[in-house]
Amino acid sequence: MAVRPADLAVGAELRPRSGAWTTLGRFFRKKPLGAAGGVLMLAMALTAVFAEVLQTHDPIATDAAYTLGAPRAEHVFGTDHLGRDVYSRIVHGARVSLIVGLASTLLGSVLGGIIGLLSGYVGGKTDLIAQRVLDILQGLPLLVLAMVVSAALGPSIQNVIIAISVPIIPRAARVIRSSVLSIREMQYIEAARALGVRHLRTAFRHILPNTMGPFIVLCTAQLGSAILVEATLSFLSLGVPEPYPSWGRMLSVSATEYAQKAPHLVLFPGVAISLAVFGSNLLGDALRDVLDPRLRGA
């Protein structure tokens, strides 16, 4: 039976459309915890972008007349030992944590991804030597290696980014390499080789795009760890120096000396760090379930 064009048009209109909002709504329904983590990370990003709008005071301005002040209408989160507004410092601390976390995660993941791609694709002695070097780097815990690098480079935002990105490199390389080892044996890769496609083109044009799923999951999962490591380094005076507001630096000054006199100095930065790490981990777990074909039914 012949099908008229009008029938095809009506059928196309009745067919459900899959757009960005539909996909986002499905993600919220199937992964509510992951969606909650995404909302937390979005709130953190918006706070970092609009820090000047959300602040109520200059985050580095001191007020000797109101030091260790309890939360009140003028200072909703109180003030620290120098009279600086805690709320404004937490708002600007979100920018520092997000910049350091994103930059170090992307730098370490990209460098590690390139190493893992070339190591897994080339194989042989190149892969053997690369994996032994990565074993040495991965043998040290992330925080310990970041502390060593940060202590060697000195405290600054740029050095903190480098210090946190170095331990991420072997973890990213291992994840991407495992994907490359399975992808390089597929038929379309063998067809590309048979057609005489150059190795670099095969690796970066045909294999690399198919590792984006694990790469996105890796970046999201490592972001929370990077934020936590930055806070730890700042707490140990190895991270972001003054006068930049940092959540870890705020805890470093207040936790040991003023925790009993002014508990708000410990409470609010600690809650900010916990929410950032918690949101990143929830979002990373949800994205892993969505993007990993073996876990899509979970």
For 271, the token pair is 């809650």
pLDDT confidence of 149, banded at 50, 70, 90?
confident
Provide the percentage of residues in the chain whose pLDDT is more than 90.
11
Which range among 104-108, 169-173, 200-204 shows the weakest confidence by mean pLDDT? Answer: 200-204
pTM metric for this prediction: 0.79
Indicate the average pLDDT of the chain. 82
More confident residue, 145 or 298: 145
The average pLDDT across 22-49 equals 85
Residue 46 is predicted with a pLDDT of 92
Could you tell me the domains of the chain? 48-63+87-295 (1.10.3720.10)
Give residues with Cβ within 8 angstroms of 192, minimum separation 6. 202, 206
Confidence category of residue 18, pLDDT binned at 50, 70, 90: low
Instruction: Using the predicted structure, report yes or no on whether residue 52 has a pLDDT greater than 80.
Output: yes
Q: Is the dihedral of CA 128, 149, 92, 282 positive or negative?
A: positive
pLDDT in tens, 244-258: 788 888 887 776 777
Measured distance CA(242)–CA(229) in Å, rounded:
17
Q: Using the predicted structure, report yes or no on whether residue 2 has a pLDDT greater than 60.
A: no
- How big is the CA angle at 164 (ends 264 and 147), to the nearest 5 degrees? 75
Per-residue pLDDT tens digits for 204-223: 887 888 888 788 888 888 88
Asked if residue 146 has pLDDT above 90, the reply is no
Are 199 and 66 in contact by the 8 Å Cβ rule? The answer is no
